[in-house]
Structure 1
């Protein structure tokens, strides 16, 4: 991938945040629980979408959450973006990436890619064919960019599975991959995205209890991947089955989760939190701006190959040619 541009994002771990050191932390309640229903997307791919739907259009700074399954021959051929960042996390298999600036690479199981679209990019994301015929599964999260950073140059940051810190708690019954943020006094890799986001991959074995402080006022949700997770909200115990998104209230200091001792399987979920952005969101497909005129300009720029999309003229990805 090309060299990263100078990082100017806000701190991932806010200094002196009261919720991260609360002497008597209060658990966050759950605002809503959404089932991630399957739907077609891209060219032959299937996604379970739980943010970016009529039930939950946005939850600042988050714009979209897809749990994607990409079979051989399917994928996401050449398409544009402007005004957001995307975080792609590979759960199984591998995905190839290529863009109009000549950047090309592959992310494998457990790897992540943080892409800043900024003022404009055109790229393709396709399954990495390894000859086994197995599908590829991953998560993609779209994160809004602050208004003043909508026009930054596009960039990438790949995070390999081997670089992600891991921590165990509750006598080994809880395991956390600290992708970004802090969990059990272990910090993840910082400076991955312009908009501060915490991303934790949590597994709880039978009888395990998980406790996680979150920055004050940040929006947060848990997307369940495996098993059934019980969230302790202080007033109730909420059981959430796999492929659901539990969206938390902003009030409170921590998220509490557990799995009963008699459970027949472990639970796994992604806990995600992000700093809210005080700005309007106007979205048209892959273009995310702050007003309708900005969206119209993005469409015009893409169609006219200008203002960030100059390199799209005549460009076609090698990995996307199979779809043509």
Structure 2
């Protein structure tokens, strides 16, 4: 079910020296551990009361899960989940018969659309680590058929420039582009900056953007500002691109995410995200009654 459709063309990418108005940090949030799934712990940043959402993004979790904990059978409707493995492996299984394991550096981009019931469980012993991002879908896309884009680590576009290495999960950087198709126009990058390096990257001016620091510490927006450490989510204000510096003695690794706002009402009830309370009520009824995309839900159970 992988898609080979070409990505959206979101216009010409500016060259680095065209960033005239670097985005500044407008919010800094330390992600905190909380219970999720069955026995699992996640560090949540987007999706907490302090940062309920950042249109079009609904949730960002950094998960650290050891068996037997995990995320057993559960439904989704109305958005996409993007799972990026940092360490270990997770096996996904859904009610349409789709099954696969993602390992370090692999990405699963799942468009839940009108309905998916799936499980996400550790594939081996020890701690499995990764990031999961929820991206909202526009009202016209919320009830599309589910689909997957899955990239193995070896197939993710990579580029390097002046001590800055990037893995491009979605979007374009340093003249290189990801093959991932984004229904909600999105960029998603994994940057590693060596000590002393400086990054400039254009981002469309009308998009929202944030960074999540995975390892190390970095300076963002203003060269004279205080370094920000790991497990922090940084929300950027308006501008035409981001600037970052690594003035520490060790590598800085962070995820950079940006997306075009949908500017639509968001009504969320757990794993269902729609535009109105009536649509949420319909989603719950469809799930419990096994209809309108959830026909296979009643008789399916994962074997994990």
Confirm or deny a common fold (TM above 0.5): yes
1:15 maps to 11
2:7·2:180 contact (CA, 8 Å) conserved in 1?
no
In 1, Cα distance between the equivalents of 2:18 and 2:118? 47
Alpha-carbon separation, structure 2, partners of 1:264 and 1:184: 24
Q: How far apart, CA to CA, are the structure 2 residues paired with 1:149 and 1:22? A: 36
Q: Specify the alignment match of 1:105 in structure 2.
A: 100
The gaps in structure 1 that reach 5 residues or longer are 320-324
Match of 2:68 in 1: 73
Give the Cα separation in 2 of the matches to 1:294 and 1:238.
44
Specify which of 220, 231, 240 is matched with residue 220 of structure 2: 231
The question of whether the paired residues in 2 share the 8 Å contact of 1:98 and 1:317 is answered with: yes
Report deviation, 1:10: 7.6
| From 74, 87, 93, the counterpart of 2:82 | 87
Q: Secondary structure at the match of 1:149?
A: coil
After TM superposition, the runs of 4+ consecutive aligned structure 1 residues lying more than 3 A away are: 19-24
Task: State the secondary structure of the residue aligned to 2:140.
Answer: helix
> Please, which of 206, 230, 246 is the counterpart of residue 234 of structure 2?
246
SS of match in other structure, 1:293 = helix
**How does the TM-score come out when normalised to structure 1?**
0.90
Q: Which residue number corresponds to residue 302 of structure 1?
A: 287
**Residue 146 of structure 2 is aligned to residue 154 of structure 1:** yes
Q: Distance in 2 between matches of 1:179 and 1:313?
A: 34
Q: Aligned pair count?
A: 304
Compared CA separation, residues 276 and 118, structure 1 to 2 (3 A):
same
User: Which of 191, 205, 209 in structure 2 is aligned with 1:202?
Assistant: 191
Instruction: Say which of 284, 296, 299 aligns to 2:269.
Output: 284
Corresponding residue for 1:322? Answer: none
Structure 2: which 5+ runs fail to align? none
Q: Provide closer, same or farther for how the CA distance between residues 153 and 28 of structure 1 changes in structure 2, counting only shifts above 3 A.
A: same
Give secondary structure in 2 for the equivalent of 1:115.
strand
Instruction: State the TM-score, normalized to the length of structure 2.
Output: 0.95
- Aligned pair partner of 1:185 in 157, 175, 182: 175
Deviations for 1:241-283, whole angstroms, at most 9, x for unmatched residues?
A: 100000001x2111111111xx232111000001110201000
